[in-house]
């Protein structure tokens, strides 16, 4: 099913993101975990396209297998990194025949050791170009990325919103946000998108924190701000990953309960292939929904 059909039917989506594991055993573990995931009844899962386009074959193999062997709906990430337009087209052509109906069209990050994205010769420069190509040549539901705190390379928040509007005009039918830790950043972003006439569903990306060092690294790479009080707790328990995981569950639970009450179109969990925290956060959300006044 296309994700756009879910939104058209009034559904607010819950989705889980995975990256392709390095080893065959890792892939088997991922599929072994699917019955547990299925209990939470996600509307779809998504599989990332590794930095540098390096996991392309694995990504495509996994999404195809999800379609063949499970009842889960899936979205395949596709980036423009290190590929010509023809190579991207080859990848897209493997998805349709496997009944993959949803694609997240991305530019991708600069390769390791590079400080800015340089499109390969014969490749795409911006995600909006890829998205326009997909819209004009394929029959996928198309998503795009967005950044509540602005993309790191954008000169300003307004410029970022203007480029996002182009992405939607080029064919992005829904958007998924970068992770963020302060819902006010998301609400301010939603106000900006409204001013710019961006009217597609915007799914909030949520990452339940697993470790202090890891989240500080991720946050600095993607430009997400860790609020001072949260950062102080992470510092206090920096050597205790179990305690940090509980802090992450508590913080994400509060975040998603607030987002849900405020009408968010969907929640997309960056699971980092570790589903325990995501499932706990969802249990908390379901308990909160059950106790909310009608
Ligand atoms: C939900 C989500 C999933 C992701 N999955 C992956 C993944 O699977 N693999 C991976 O490698 N990365 C992934 N990323 C990371 C993403 O690829 C990077 O953040 C990348 O730096 C930006 O991607 P984009 O698609 O937003 O690019 P773009 O939309 O092309 O934007 C890149 C920059 O260019 C600017 N820009 C856009 N259009 C123009 C224009 N016309 N003129 C001038 N400037 C412009 C934008 O404001 C931004 O600063 C994901 C990010 C998100 C939020």
Which pLDDT belongs to residue 131? Answer: 98
Mean pLDDT of 263-285: 97
Choose among 215, 201, 91: nearest CA to 143: 201
Nearest protein CA to atom 15 of ligand 1, as residue: 108
pLDDT at 213: 97
* pLDDT classification of 85: cutoffs 50, 70, 90: very high
Q: Which residues are catalytic?
A: 17
**Which listed CATH number (3.20.20.220, 3.40.630.10, 1.10.1740.10, 3.30.1490.20) goes with 3-285?**
3.20.20.220
Q: Give the distance (Å) from ligand 1 centre to CA of residue 241.
A: 30
Task: Label residue 52 by pLDDT band (50, 70, 90).
Answer: low
For residues 131-148, b (16+ Cβ closer than 10 Å) or e, as one string?
Answer: bbbbbeeeebbbbbbbbb
Does residue 56 or residue 293 have the better pLDDT?
Answer: 56
pLDDT of residue 133: 98
Q: Say which residues have a Cβ less than 8 Å from residue 282's Cβ, sequence separation at least 6.
A: 14, 40, 269
pLDDT of residue 70: 95
Q: How far is ligand 1, taken at its centre, from the CA of residue 142, in Å?
A: 14
Distance separating alpha carbons of residues 244 and 2, to the nearest angstrom? 36
Instruction: Tell me, in angstroms, the distance from the centre of ligand 1 to residue 176's CA.
Output: 11
Please tell me whether residue 77 adopts helix, strand or coil conformation.
strand
Per-residue pLDDT averaged across 29-53, rounded? 89
Confidence of residue 112 (pLDDT cuts 50, 70, 90): confident
Task: Pick the more confident residue, 111 or 255.
Answer: 255
Query: Average pLDDT of 106-111?
Result: 87
Judged against a pLDDT cut of 70, whether residue 160 lies above it is answered with: yes
**Taking all residues of the chain, what is their mean pLDDT, rounded to a whole number?**
95
Q: Which of 60, 145, 152 to mutate to test the pocket of ligand 1 (most atoms within 8 A of CB)?
A: 145
Q: Pocket around ligand 1: residues whose beta carbon is below 6 Å from it?
A: 48-49, 51, 77, 79, 104, 106-109, 126-128, 145, 151, 153-154, 160, 163, 166-167, 176, 178, 205
pLDDT for residue 294: 57
Please give the helix or strand (H or E) that residue 65 lies within, else none. Answer: helix 56-69
- In the structure, what pLDDT confidence band is assigned to residue 118 with cuts at 50, 70 and 90? confident
d(CA 199, CA 194): 7
Q: Given this model, what pLDDT does residue 62 score?
A: 97
Asked if 104 contacts 145 with a C-beta cutoff of 8 angstroms, the reply is yes
Summarize pLDDT for 174-228 with one digit per residue, the tens: 999 999 999 999 999 999 999 999 999 999 999 999 999 999 999 999 999 999 9
Query: Atom 3 in ligand 1: which residue has the minimum CA distance?
Result: 145
For a mutational test of ligand 1's pocket, the pick from 45, 47, 79, 106, i.e. the residue with the most ligand atoms closer than 8 A to its C-beta, is 106
The pTM assigned to this predicted structure is: 0.97
pLDDT band at 56 (very low <50, low <70, confident <90, very high): confident
pLDDT, position 147 = 98
The per-residue pLDDT for 2 is 98
- Ligand 1 atom closest to Cα of residue 81: 11
What torsion do the CA atoms of 222, 52, 270, 182 make, to the nearest 10 degrees?
10
The pLDDT value given to residue 6? 98
User: Measured between alpha carbons, how far is 27 from 19 in angstroms, rounded to an integer?
Assistant: 10
Residue ranges covered by each domain of the chain: 3-285
User: pLDDT at position 109, please?
Assistant: 85
153 Cα–ligand 1 center, Å: 9
Region 17-44 average pLDDT? 93
The residue whose CA is least distant from atom 16 of ligand 1 is 108
Task: State yes or no: pLDDT of 54 exceeds 70.
Answer: no
Please give the sequence-ordered ranges of beta strands (E in DSSP) within 164-222, or none if there are none. Answer: 174-177, 202-206
Nearest residue (CA) to ligand 1, atom 41: 163
Give the pLDDT score at 110: 79
């Amino acid at each position: 099913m296309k994700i756009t059909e879910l939104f058209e039917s009034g559904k607010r989506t819950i989705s889980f993101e995975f990256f392709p594991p390095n080893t065959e055993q890792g892939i088997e573990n991922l599929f072994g975990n699917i019955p547990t995931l299925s209990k939470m009844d996600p509307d779809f899962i998504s599989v990332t396209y590794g930095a540098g386009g390096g996991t392309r074959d694995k990504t495509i193999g996994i999404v195809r297998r999800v379609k063949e062997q499970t009842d889960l709906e899936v979205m395949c990430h596709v980036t423009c990194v290190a590929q010509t337009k023809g190579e991207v087209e080859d990848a897209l052509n493997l998805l349709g025949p496997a009944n993959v109906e949803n694609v997240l069209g991305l530019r991708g990050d600069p390769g390791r050791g590079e400080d800015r994205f340089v499109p390969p010769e014969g490749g795409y420069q911006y995600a909006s170009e890829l998205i326009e190509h997909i819209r004009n040549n394929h029959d996928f539901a198309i998503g795009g990325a967005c950044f509540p705190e602005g993309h790191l390379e954008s000169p300003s928040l307004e410029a970022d919103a203007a480029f996002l509007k182009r992405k939607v005009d080029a064919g992005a039918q829904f958007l998924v946000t970068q992770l963020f830790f302060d819902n006010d950043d998301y609400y301010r972003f939603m106000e900006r998108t409204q001013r710019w006439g961006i009217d597609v569903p915007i799914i909030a990306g949520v990452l339940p924190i697993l470790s202090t060092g890891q989240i500080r690294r991720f946050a600095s790479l993607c430009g997400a701000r860790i609020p001072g009080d949260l950062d102080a707790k992470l510092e206090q328990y920096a050597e205790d990953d179990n305690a940090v995981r509980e802090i992450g569950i508590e913080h994400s639970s509060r975040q998603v309960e607030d987002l849900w009450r405020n009408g968010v179109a969907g929640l997309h969990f960056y699971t980092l292939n570790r589903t325990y925290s995501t499932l706990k956060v969802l249990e908390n959300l379901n308990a909160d929904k059950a106790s909310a006044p009608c």
